[in-house]
Chains A and B, each alone.
Chain A
């Protein structure tokens, strides 16, 4: 039988240190992975825009990590990090950087960063592809005029191209942040929230409560909070970054 508990589930939740820890980890995952994806994606988009030899092949190559399914990506990286026969150990050993195989995923301070690396491989191309398409729409005259006026390459990038790219960056930022904050699949497959819960995110905690601990009430309260946070984040981005006149 169900009894109405009012805000009981929310009270139980916020008094639990585990809840705050998972919020912290989800935020860490979101900030670090989206931050790296944005910087790396922007750098690669600019590089493609600068037309090195093979730029078309580079753009073409970005499609591969983007199209690989999330779970295959997670499984692949779990094998790469494997303690006994993983490619990471194999590579570092041959380069002479380590002298014995390391059980990477059991290192409490490494695990989350390794999950982030796997996520970056899969989702950075999404950001790079969107941004390189945005670069292609920029009028070259602006850049040339600034160069004639004596602006350095860095100044042209920061003062001319970056502001014009704001709408595209916003699109990538919202989409990636909303997804990253709800991260589940890749954590489930690479670490199973381990070692010692060091990679347990808020969505993983919700999954555990709903389907492993049999605490559906807490699970529902948690998932409501995730939706709430997501909407707040999207709102903040739109409020501070979106200027309607620029998108036209």
Chain B
């Protein structure tokens, strides 16, 4: 039987996707499998791809830490909550302050409007490593080291410009006519922003919020320098802390890694249709 050309072509293309799927899923599935393993099974040779005796212990230790659990799950329990608090605070502040700033820059013509917009983009060019030292000196003299507020403020230094830049792009697409009607009804500028512009910019706000959260959640360098106590570490720092000493509780770390990856992955799946517009808007500023 002769196979139609189109069918053969499609089969060939589909065959090409297989190595890509393998490359994408092999690392992450192994991490997932290891997080359900016991330490003994993880260290076995030849390798057990799927644990023979899967266990939830690694996760339960993080969710319900007690005296008996090792320092790995205890640290992760604290670090994940720190990360959640800091990233949420950064996201809420960025959206609130960023909306006001972006709206002013889009709608109010003033002399320094353009230079300010360019200045906001230019902050992206400055590497973290050159800001961390002066910030560290300031934070130390203000006795803010190891406090969540220092990370929130520092993260805002890159998250806020990012949010403003994305929101400028979204607010710029809203027709002015919509606002004029509200203005005639006696609405103030802020009233228009909160009652007209923000409600119809739903997708823009959601996408900006997601990217801001991911930026804050992913941040490692500042957190590494600004936190030294167990109670103040974020999830990436906790991860880095334990990675060097794998004799301890490797499977606990793997479960911690999966839990640290879960919030961004879930957010990205829920808001996947906004990702591409966000990626493009976010990187144009580079």
Binding site for B on A (CB under 8 A): 44, 47, 50-55, 58, 60-72, 74-80, 82, 84-85, 87, 89-91, 93-94, 101, 121, 125-126, 129-130, 133, 168, 171-172, 174-175, 178, 182, 184-185, 188-189, 192, 203, 206-207, 210-211, 216, 219-220, 222-224, 226-227, 230-231, 234
Residues on A with C-beta less than 8 A from B51 are none
Residues on A with C-beta less than 8 A from B265 are 63-64, 67-68
Residues on A with C-beta less than 8 A from B44 are 85
Contacts A67-B268, A69-B261 given: A189-B240 contact, CB under 8 Å? yes
Give the number of residues in B that approach A within 8 Å (Cβ atoms): 66
Q: Does B230 contact A (CB under 8 A)?
A: no
A171 nearest CB neighbor, chain B only: B283
Structural contact, A79 and B34, CB atoms closer than 8 A: yes
Q: Does B246 contact A (CB under 8 A)?
A: yes
Structural contact, B236 and A171, CB atoms closer than 8 A: no
Q: Does B162 contact A (CB under 8 A)?
A: no
Residues on A with C-beta less than 8 A from B133 are 210, 216, 219-220, 223
Distance between Cα atoms of A63 and B221 in the complex (Å):
24
Contacts A61-B21, A79-B31, A220-B130 given: A52-B10 contact, CB under 8 Å? yes
Residues on A with C-beta less than 8 A from B31 are 76, 79
Structural contact, A101 and B45, CB atoms closer than 8 A: yes
Residues on A with C-beta less than 8 A from B28 are 64-65, 68, 76
Q: Does B175 contact A (CB under 8 A)?
A: no
**Which of A54, A55, A71, A171 is within 8 Å of B220, CB to CB?**
A71
Residues on A with C-beta less than 8 A from B129 are 182, 184, 203, 206-207, 210, 219, 222-223, 226
Query: Which of B61-69, B147-155, B194-202, B269-277 forms contacts with chain A?
Result: B269-277
Q: Does B239 contact A (CB under 8 A)?
A: yes
Q: Does B125 contact A (CB under 8 A)?
A: yes
Contacts A69-B217, A76-B257 given: A47-B17 contact, CB under 8 Å? yes
A211 nearest CB neighbor, chain B only: B225
Contacts A75-B257, A79-B254 given: A64-B130 contact, CB under 8 Å? no
**Which of B13, B14, B235, B284 is within 8 Å of A171, CB to CB?**
B284
A179 nearest CB neighbor, chain B only: B286
Q: Does B112 contact A (CB under 8 A)?
A: no
Residues on A with C-beta less than 8 A from B244 are 192
B152 to chain A, nearest CB (A): 18
Number of interchain pairs (Cβ within 8 Å): 188
A225 to chain B, nearest CB (A): 9
Structural contact, A90 and B46, CB atoms closer than 8 A: yes
Structural contact, A69 and B260, CB atoms closer than 8 A: yes
Q: Does B250 contact A (CB under 8 A)?
A: yes
Besides A79-B31, A94-B47, 17 new A-B residue pairs in contact (Cβ under 8 A), listed by A number = A51-B10, A52-B14, A64-B24, A67-B214, A67-B264, A69-B218, A69-B235, A70-B220, A71-B236, A74-B243, A75-B243, A80-B30, A85-B45, A130-B280, A175-B286, A178-B125, A222-B129
Structural contact, A72 and B261, CB atoms closer than 8 A: yes
Structural contact, B283 and A172, CB atoms closer than 8 A: yes
Residues on B with C-beta less than 8 A from A67 are 214, 261, 264-265, 267-268
Residues on A with C-beta less than 8 A from B110 are none
Q: Does B168 contact A (CB under 8 A)?
A: no
Distance between Cα atoms of A234 and B283 in the complex (Å):
12
